[in-house]
Structure 1
């Protein structure tokens, strides 16, 4: 799947998120719920904003933080598991949790 096709798929899966916007950034895309930046799409992967509590599930599933360069890591953003991306209902739940974390 091309990066644009993946982006379009993710946006379709997240259609229930109010005021969802997608903007180019980091060589990929940033996702916003209104003005709240909560996700990154880069290199065919989706990353959600996490906090200490929500990050546990990502780590339990052995997901990695967003790494825009080999020497830089944004540890607040973790890759969303493929099975979650495929399930629109579950993805929406994870996205809403990421929006809540990002808004705090």
Structure 2
């Protein structure tokens, strides 16, 4: 596992059932089996929904997107504020909001 992923898992340790799995050429982060974040090109993206996306848009944080057959596809994950990565106390609420969005998306 990439050292930066180990670091993120350590920062987010208070989340129950936290795991990481290689995917999308990066990693998916899971809390109790629900994907709530992804890491692509060394950048962290959190799951968003209509209840949480405004905080990201207010900061100008873009959605994760990738090119598929010549068309850009956006996913419901937005770039995490970079300044929070080294601040576990500040990062954790954003991660918890992402877990909540993942639960709402699954109807959990």
**TM-aligned CA deviation for residue 72 of structure 1:** 1.8
Cα distance between partner residues in 2 of 1:37 and 1:19: 11
Aligned to 1:83: 83
Which is helix-richer, 1 or 2? 1
Q: Counterpart of 1:52 in 2: which secondary structure? A: coil
Aligned counterparts, 1:18-33, within 5 A: 18-33=16-31
Larger CA Rg, structure 1 vs 2: 2
Q: Tell me the matched-pair count.
A: 101
Unaligned segments of structure 1, at least 5 residues? none
RMSD: 1.6
Cα distance between partner residues in 2 of 1:50 and 1:34: 17
**TM-aligned CA deviation for residue 45 of structure 1:** 0.4
Q: Counterpart of 1:86 in 2: which secondary structure? A: coil
Q: Counterpart of 1:51 in 2: which secondary structure? A: coil
Cα distance between partner residues in 2 of 1:30 and 1:23: 5
Aligned residues of 1:26 and 1:68 also touching (Cα < 8 A): no
Cα distance between partner residues in 2 of 1:68 and 1:84: 24
**TM-aligned CA deviation for residue 37 of structure 1:** 1.0
Aligned to 1:95: 95
Of 57, 60, 65, 2:58 maps to 60
TM-score normalised to structure 1 length: 0.89
Aligned to 1:40: 38
Post-superposition CA distance 1:64-84 (Å, at most 9, x none): 10113272221x100001112
**TM-aligned CA deviation for residue 8 of structure 1:** 2.0
Q: Runs of 4+ in structure 1 displaced over 6 angstroms? A: none
